[in-house]
Structure 1
Amino acid sequence: MKIRTARSDDLDAVKALLAENELPIADVDAALLVDFLVAEDANGRIVGSVGLERLGRNVLLRSLCVARQVRNVGFGTTLLSYAEAAARSAGVLELWLLTTIAAGFFRSMEYVEADRSSAPAEVGQSPQLAQLCPTSASCLTKRL
């Protein structure tokens, strides 16, 4: 697996991967892709993604996704580690995320449950928290 910074020409592949895994794509565009990482398989096909949506000194972790055919081999953990390292390097204080199905995974990676109302204002006003993710989604955070 090769992890690299996403390029604008990856947009369709990233959106297809997210849609295949029932993750929001409405606001995923070339501008947002600037802070995404992708994982490629040996054939150069995108099989994973993760994004950092910068919101002040906090970041919304977005779109951590691994293609079904390559799950359970550590791609998600590796992508998350790369994203956290990038956030630390950028001076990010906290990561926030919403998930409907992967709360257990993130808790195992030292994320803690948080009430959406406790998120910093810029995080709470993001389209992900304000509109795109259902209110039933778990909100988690990790201090870096």
Structure 2
Amino acid sequence: MKIRAARSDDLDAIKALLAESGLPNSDVTGDLLFDFAVAEDADGSVVGSVGLERFGTNALLRSLAVAQPARNDGLGGRMLAHAEDRAHASGILELWLLTTTALEFFQRKGYVDVGRSSAPVEIHATRQFAQLCPATAVCMRKTLSP
């Protein structure tokens, strides 16, 4: 699998992957793709996605999804590491996320469960926090080494 920066022509494939994975996609637009990465298989099909929404030294990690046939091979972890490396290289100090299904995965990757109210106001104002993710979603944070 090859991980690369998302392009505008990946938008439909990313949205389809997110829908297949039960993740919100209505707010994923071409403008947001600047900080997205995709994984493609040998045929060039998009089989993974991950994105960042940046706010100063904080970012919302979002849209981490792997297509069913590509699961259980470590691709999710590689996609996450790619996003974290990109965030770190650009000066992001904290990553935030909401999850309803992947709590243990993110805990194994160093994320900690925190109250939603502890997230920065800019993160709270995203559509992910304010509208799209249910109130039952767990809020998590990871501090990146400076």
Matching residue of 1:27: 27
Please state whether the residue corresponding to 2:38 is helix, strand or coil: strand
Matching residue of 1:89: 89
Once residues 21 and 79 of structure 1 are traced to their aligned partners in structure 2, the CA distance between those partners, rounded to angstroms, is 15
Once residues 21 and 11 of structure 1 are traced to their aligned partners in structure 2, the CA distance between those partners, rounded to angstroms, is 15
Provide TM-score, normalisation by structure 2: 0.97
CA distances 1:41-66 after superposition (whole Å, capped 9, x unpaired): 01100000000111221000000000
Amino acid across the alignment from 1:115: G
Please state whether the residue corresponding to 2:59 is helix, strand or coil: strand
Matching residue of 1:109: 109
Matching residue of 1:138: 138
Once residues 127 and 70 of structure 2 are traced to their aligned partners in structure 1, the CA distance between those partners, rounded to angstroms, is 29
TM superposition shift of 1:33: 0.9
Provide TM-score, normalisation by structure 1: 0.99
Q: What fraction of aligned residue pairs are identical, expressed as a percent?
A: 60
Q: CA RMSD in A?
A: 0.6
Once residues 127 and 116 of structure 2 are traced to their aligned partners in structure 1, the CA distance between those partners, rounded to angstroms, is 13
Once residues 44 and 89 of structure 1 are traced to their aligned partners in structure 2, the CA distance between those partners, rounded to angstroms, is 27
Q: Which runs of 5+ in 2 are unaligned?
A: none
Q: Give the ranges of 4+ consecutive aligned residues of structure 1 lying more than 4 Å apart after TM superposition.
A: none
Please state whether the residue corresponding to 1:34 is helix, strand or coil: helix
Once residues 55 and 19 of structure 2 are traced to their aligned partners in structure 1, the CA distance between those partners, rounded to angstroms, is 24
TM superposition shift of 1:6: 0.1
Matching residue of 1:75: 75
Matching residue of 2:40: 40
Amino acid across the alignment from 1:120: P
Matched, 1:58 2:58: yes
Once residues 83 and 122 of structure 1 are traced to their aligned partners in structure 2, the CA distance between those partners, rounded to angstroms, is 19
